[in-house]
């Protein structure tokens, strides 16, 4: 336990390396396959093409959204369609996993997910309201989804607040808000008549990376940096919070302030990913779980592990979602659910103490 | 031997005429409670003194500890640490002066003893600070005082109940405070670990001059280790003083509702409980 980098353990190294490998393999699949097939070698040659990588105008187009220089089709497909989709997957996975790790510590519940404090229900309701009632505002759908998620979180917090909160009251308030919002959401669904609209709403509420491009990358990048950075800075606070609020407060922590701040970071991360990809389930629940089993309970390790393992699961699942039934694409949330469910079943069978922190 | 954990008691500007930790007519009530759980309790604990709080279940002992650690603010009366109202301390300063071992604390299963104990340094570390040399020294001393140094890399879930209690005690000791509150530190432990815990507590009192308030269920144990016993019944102090004077058959009958004989010998006070009495009024109704 000496030295500045002593928290870097071998197990964490394995998680980081393994996850990076999965991301690379998934990226290769994503870049190669599709309506315009490329060989893996061609795909990487295109991705590392100096004519793009070293071209300032191209990067301005990607990052700032300006006009793109002329390129051949393969380059365009790789750089404007396939690669940004991989990047969005990486960011979404990172945000959801980090968000889940934070909320599991804040609520002291290993079964908490980024959506436990009402984010998904608030975002889902906002999406349906936009589609059904405020149809003129459809271009702002992602923004509304994120804002809806944030508002639901504040509502959950105010319901749970009685001169202070507790993990149990927060989770219960989350359940209450989710079920009420869920009912309203289902009610609104019945007002939809256009099958195309229904399908896009379903894609939103199950999570999908279809059509993700540089606009989503631009939108997510700052929030991801902010949320992951803030989470890492708060890792020791998370460690102390998991000792229980009595102990945390007798160690001099302002428990309520820290808990609200860190929950806010988690909700920010989740809301950013909702805005980009809709409500992708299970990533934020399963990834912190797997990583915790490998690297232990220290939150610096856990968060760094999650920041790599989240993208791994997300990009792999998206490769499956896009390529399994090609040319049809299924929402990536369906794949993460299909992978996540059995994993939990396995845990339940294998570990009797499953669910304890 | 150097003792990085101690404060000499004179460097903080107070002149030591007052007690380290004191209450004056302290009345405590829970926000949702109908009547006070602790009423007009006055007590004073000096550096190097161990005060035992005893009393039947529900007599307000744990509540009083909450009042002594600023977890519950006074309804009326005052709680004072080093001449200043407890409520006037900010969280971090208080955590450097006053440590509390809670009843049955609960940490993540996979947490190691060393990690747990290093969290005791939380009030000393800035937002981004690494463990300093002083932090490490305090952690090492806490581990060695409690005899948990050999367990440092073991996970909490792998420890026995007694070892786990010692690890949590070590965490509180790493806080390096001059006041220590202990909420039933020996309950549910086997004899060996009960004695180990009490020996550590005694050593802190004698060599470090820590002011200690401990809630104890075992009256014999309280009598053996405490300098002063404070007996609570239904939220009020009903007896106080040196153990040999406090522990009498009459008190045991009146407060604890048991018929018992009390002998004093070289080992201290011996209590032999005989049978429960039909009526007693120790619990708050």
Q: Pairing relation of β-strands B76-81 and B84-85?
A: antiparallel
Q: How far is residue A206 from each of residues A93, A123, B264, measured CA to CA in Å?
A: 15, 12, 75
By a Cβ cutoff of 8 Å, what residues of chain B touch chain A? Answer: 31, 69, 71, 91-96, 99-100, 102, 105-111, 114-116, 118-120, 122-123, 125, 127-128, 130-131, 136, 175
How far B64 CA lies from chain A's nearest CA (Å)?
Answer: 15
CB-side neighbour CA atoms (13 Å) of B22: 14
* Three-class secondary structure of residue B168 per DSSP: helix
pLDDT at B6 over 50: no
Q: Which residues of B touch A297 (CB under 8 A)?
A: 108-111
- Omega of the bond prior to B241 within 30 degrees of 0, cis? no
How far B106 CA lies from chain A's nearest CA (Å)?
Answer: 6
Q: Which residues of B touch A296 (CB under 8 A)?
A: 110
Q: Which one of B108, B132, B169 makes the best mutation probe of the A interface by having the most chain A beta carbons within 10 Å?
A: B108
Mean pLDDT confidence for B121-139? 91
Q: Is the dihedral of CA A227, A228, A232, A238 positive or negative?
A: positive
Helix (H) or strand (E) holding B101: strand B98-101
Residues B83-104 pLDDT 10s: 999 999 999 999 999 999 998 8
How far A15 CA lies from chain B's nearest CA (Å)?
Answer: 18
How far B274 CA lies from chain A's nearest CA (Å)?
Answer: 38
Which chain A residue has its CA at the smallest distance from B119's CA? A240
pLDDT at B231 over 70: yes
Mean pLDDT confidence for B152-179? 95
Q: What is the rounded CA–CA span in Å between residue B185 and residue B194?
A: 8
Q: Which residue, among B99, B97, B92, B101, has the nearest Cα to B125 in the 3D structure?
A: B92
Which chain B residue has its CA at the smallest distance from A234's CA? B127
Per-residue pLDDT, A64? 85
- Angle made by CA atoms A49, A55, A60, in degrees to the nearest 5: 125
Per-residue pLDDT, B281? 55
Per-residue pLDDT, B280? 57
By a Cβ cutoff of 8 Å, what residues of chain A touch chain B? Answer: 1-2, 4, 163, 233, 236, 239-240, 242-244, 246-247, 249-254, 292, 296-298, 353, 356-357
Per-residue pLDDT, B12? 40
Per-residue pLDDT, B109? 87
Residues A176-197 pLDDT 10s: 999 999 899 889 888 888 888 8
Q: Pairing relation of β-strands B228-233 and B50-54?
A: parallel
Alpha carbon A150 to chain centroid distance?
15
Say what percent of chain B tops pLDDT 90: 76
Contact B100 A250 (CB under 8 A): yes
Q: Which residue, among A258, A261, A321, has the nearest Cα to A93 in the 3D structure?
A: A321
Per-residue pLDDT, B4? 43
Of B108, B114, B127, the CB nearest to A297: B108
Give alpha helix (H) positions in A190-254.
195-206, 214-233, 235-241, 245-250
Residue B231, phi then psi, degrees to nearest 5: -100, 125
Helix (H) or strand (E) holding B213: strand B211-215
Per-residue pLDDT, B224? 93
Q: What is the rounded CA–CA span in Å between residue A343 and residue A336?
A: 10
Residues A155-172 pLDDT 10s: 999 999 988 888 889 989
How far B114 CA lies from chain A's nearest CA (Å)?
Answer: 8
Q: Which residues of B touch A236 (CB under 8 A)?
A: 122, 125
pTM of the complete model: 0.89
pLDDT at B2 over 60: no
Q: What is the rounded CA–CA span in Å between residue B268 and residue B243?
A: 9
Which chain B residue has its CA at the smallest distance from A357's CA? B108
- Low-confidence stretches of chain A (pLDDT < 50) are 1-2, 355, 357
Per-residue pLDDT, A20? 97
Q: Tokens in use for A3?
A: 């030295």
Contact B96 A1 (CB under 8 A): no
* Three-class secondary structure of residue B39 per DSSP: strand
Q: How many CB atoms lie within 10 A of CB B75?
A: 16
How far B61 CA lies from chain A's nearest CA (Å)?
Answer: 17
DSSP A252: T
Give the largest Cα separation in chain B, rounded. Answer: 60
Q: Tokens in use for B221?
A: 């144990």
Per-residue pLDDT, A329? 86
Mean pLDDT confidence for B113-139? 92
Per-residue pLDDT, A202? 85
pLDDT at B16 over 60: no
Q: Which residue, among B203, B158, B212, B205, has the nearest Cα to B185 in the 3D structure?
A: B212
Per-residue pLDDT, A354? 53
Q: What is the rounded CA–CA span in Å between residue A153 and residue B215?
A: 40
Burial environment of residue A312 by CB neighbours within 10 A (0 to 12, 13 to 18, 19 or more): buried
Please answer whether residues B243 and B271 qualify as being in contact, where contact means their C-beta atoms are separated by less than 8 angstroms: no
Confidence band, pLDDT 50/70/90 cuts, at residue B285: very low
Q: Which residues of B touch A252 (CB under 8 A)?
A: 91-96, 122-123
pLDDT at B124 over 70: yes
Which chain A residue has its CA at the smallest distance from B130's CA? A4
Q: Which residue, among A8, A53, A48, has the nearest Cα to A24 in the 3D structure?
A: A48
Mean pLDDT confidence for B57-63? 91
Per-residue pLDDT, B39? 92
Per-residue pLDDT, B196? 95
Per-residue pLDDT, A353? 56
DSSP B18: S
């Amino acid at each position: 336990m000496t030295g500045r980098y002593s928290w870097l353990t071998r197990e964490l190294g394995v998680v980081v390396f393994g996850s990076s490998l999965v991301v690379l393999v998934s990226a290769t699949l994503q870049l190669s396959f599709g309506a315009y097939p490329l060989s893996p070698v061609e795909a990487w040659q295109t991705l590392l093409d100096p004519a793009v990588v070293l071209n300032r105008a191209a990067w301005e187009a990607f990052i700032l959204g300006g006009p793109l220089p002329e390129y051949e089709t393969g380059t365009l497909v790789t750089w404007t369609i396939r690669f940004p989709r991989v990047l969005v997957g990486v960011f979404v996975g990172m945000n959801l996993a980090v968000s889940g790790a934070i909320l599991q510590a804040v609520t002291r519940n290993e079964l908490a997910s980024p959506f436990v404090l009402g984010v998904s229900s608030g975002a889902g309701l906002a999406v349906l309201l936009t589609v059904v009632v405020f149809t003129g505002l459809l271009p702002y759908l992602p923004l509304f989804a994120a804002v809806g998620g944030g508002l639901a979180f504040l509502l959950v917090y105010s319901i749970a607040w009685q001169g202070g909160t507790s993990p149990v009251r927060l989770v219960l308030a989350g359940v209450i808000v989710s079920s009420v919002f869920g009912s309203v959401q289902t009610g609104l669904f019945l007002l939809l008549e256009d099958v195309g609209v229904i399908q896009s709403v379903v894609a939103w509420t199950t999570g999908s990376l279809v059509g993700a491009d540089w606009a989503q990358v631009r939108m997510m990048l700052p929030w991801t940096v902010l949320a992951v950075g803030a989470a890492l800075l708060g890792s020791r606070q998370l460690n102390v919070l998991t000792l229980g609020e009595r102990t945390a407060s007798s160690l001099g922590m302002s428990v309520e302030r820290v808990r609200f701040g860190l929950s806010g970071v988690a909700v920010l991360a989740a809301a950013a990913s909702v805005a980009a990809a809709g409500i992708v389930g299970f990533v934020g629940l399963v990834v912190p779980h797997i990583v915790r089993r490998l690297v232990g309970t220290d939150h610096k390790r856990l968060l760094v592990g999650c920041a790599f393992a989240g993208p791994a699961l997300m990009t792999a699942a998206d490769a499956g979602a896009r390529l399994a039934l090609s040319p049809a694409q299924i929402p990536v949330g369906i794949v993460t659910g299909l992978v996540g469910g059995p994993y939990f079943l396995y845990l339940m069978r294998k570990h009797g103490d499953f669910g304890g922190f | 031997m150097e003792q990085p954990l101690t404060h000499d008691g004179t460097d903080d500007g107070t002149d030591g005429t007052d007690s380290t930790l004191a209450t004056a007519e302290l009345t405590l009530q829970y926000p949702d409670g109908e009547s006070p759980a602790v009423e007009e309790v006055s007590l004073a604990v000096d550096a190097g003194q161990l005060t035992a709080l005893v009393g039947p279940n529900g007599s307000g002992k744990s509540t009083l500890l909450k009042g002594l650690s600023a977890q519950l603010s006074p309804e009326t009366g005052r709680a004072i640490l080093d001449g200043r109202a407890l409520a006037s301390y900010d969280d971090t300063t208080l955590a450097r002066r006053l440590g509390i071992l809670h009843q049955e604390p609960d940490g993540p299963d996979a947490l190691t003893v060393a990690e747990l104990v290093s969290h005791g340094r939380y009030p000393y570390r800035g937002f981004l600070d690494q463990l300093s040399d002083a932090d490490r020294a305090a952690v090492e001393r806490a581990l060695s005082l409690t005899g948990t140094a050999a367990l440092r890399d073991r996970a909490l879930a792998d420890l026995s109940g007694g070892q786990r209690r010692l690890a949590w005690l070590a965490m509180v000791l790493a806080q390096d405070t001059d006041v220590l509150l202990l909420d039933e530190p020996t309950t549910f432990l086997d004899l060996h670990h009960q004695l180990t815990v009490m020996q550590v507590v005694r050593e802190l009192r004698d060599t470090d001059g820590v002011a200690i308030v401990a809630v104890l269920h075992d009256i014999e144990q309280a009598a053996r280790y405490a300098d002063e016993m404070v007996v609570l019944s239904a939220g009020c102090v009903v007896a106080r003083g040196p153990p040999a004077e406090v522990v009498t058959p009459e008190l045991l009958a009146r407060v604890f509702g048991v018929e018992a004989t009390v002998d004093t010998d070289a080992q201290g006070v011996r209590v032999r409980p005989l049978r429960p009495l039909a009526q007693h009024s120790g619990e708050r109704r």
